[in-house]
A and B are shown apart, each in its own frame.
Chain A
Amino acid sequence: EAQVTQNPRYLITVTGKKLTVTCSQNMNHEYMSWYRQDPGLGLRQIYYSMNVEVTDKGDVPEGYKVSRKEKRNFPLILESPSPNQTSLYFCASSLKGGRTYTQYFGPGTRLTVL
């Protein structure tokens, strides 16, 4: 089954404790990205990757890191999480990044930073 998976689905942590949210897709997609969803703001892009070893900032990259060492995986790293990073995070992928390509979303990771 074609899908985007994320782990963990739920995470409660404390300020400053490094964490990684994993994202994996099995569709051989070139393009992957991370979004955060906050009430009243919709989804906002954090980082994206056009292909292996090619990443770039989205609209709200502060406090986050990413890496793309393999085509299927695109982990999101919070080196020193803060309470304002409490949010619902979605990973997405598409065949390419062009305007006509459909992006497929993972199930989401709900992160709480205390």
Chain B
Amino acid sequence: GNSVTQMEGPVTLSEEAFLTINCTYTATGYPSLFWYVQYPGEGLQLLLKATKADDKGSNKGFEATYRKETTSFHLEKGSVQVSDSAVYFCALSESEAGGTSYGKLTFGQGTILTVHP
């Protein structure tokens, strides 16, 4: 079955530091890949996504590139801010109409990021 593995957290950084959160996946077919962010006390928000190999998703200074050869979708940001403190989830969707995984997002376990001033 499908699975997503994220780097262990929590991650603690100083403001303006470089961020990388690793994400690798296992899928039987050709998934779309997502990063969701969960701010304290809130639901999940889509941060970025990529639907085919070599696509780069980007939003709010975050980037991730769909690497089919290494089955990875690492999240990066050049200079983090205190307001980026949140839980980050990598996820994939490999749904086919009528299939058992239709519409399902498979999530990693989440990485807690704390940014200090």
Binding site for B on A (CB under 8 A): 4, 31, 33, 35, 40-45, 48, 50, 56, 58-59, 90, 92, 94, 96-108
Contacts and interface: CB of A to CB of B under 8 A. Distances in A.
Contact of B95 (A92, A97, A102): A97
Interface string B80-117: 00000000010101111100001111011110000000
B88 to A, nearest CB: 11
Interface residues of B, number: 27
Given A105-B45, A107-B42, A107-B43, A42 B103 contact: no
Given A98-B97, A99-B31, A50 B46 contact: no
B103 A105 contact: no
Contacts, number: 70
Given A41-B109, A43-B107, A106-B43, A100 B32 contact: yes
A59 B2 CA distance: 12
Given A99-B95, A102-B49, A45 B42 contact: no
